[in-house]
Amino acid sequence: MTGGMAYVYDPEGVAEDFMNLESILTCAVEHPHWEMQLKGLIQRHLDETGSRIAERILSNWESERRNFLQVCPKEMVSRLPYPLSDEVAKVPAE
């Protein structure tokens, strides 16, 4: 990652096992701004590809959104226009 936000579809809950958590923060997609951004990205993917998986995720949004993990480099957290979550806002900057 080079300073950007990532959303990882992780229905099995194992993605963090493969991440370097020293340099990134992860959390559920909680803030309405980020949820709408994620939903918009999935909708765009569906519109451009006709993905059945994207269609299924959007059709079951209330349960499927919990399967996403939001990933952000620690150095970017203070520059975000919206907090990732209430818990991440409490993490002191390094």
Higher per-residue confidence, 85 vs 28:
28
Provide the residue type at 3 as one letter.
G
Instruction: Tell me the three state secondary structure of residue 16.
Output: helix
**What pLDDT, in 10s, does the model give residues 40-93?**
999 999 999 999 999 999 999 999 999 999 999 998 888 888 888 766 554 555
Q: What share of the chain is helix, strand, coil (3-state, %, to 5)?
A: 50, 15, 35
Q: Edge-to-edge strands of the sheet including 24-28?
A: 6-9, 68-73, 24-28
- The whole model's pTM is what? 0.84
Give the pLDDT band (50/70/90) at residue 2: low
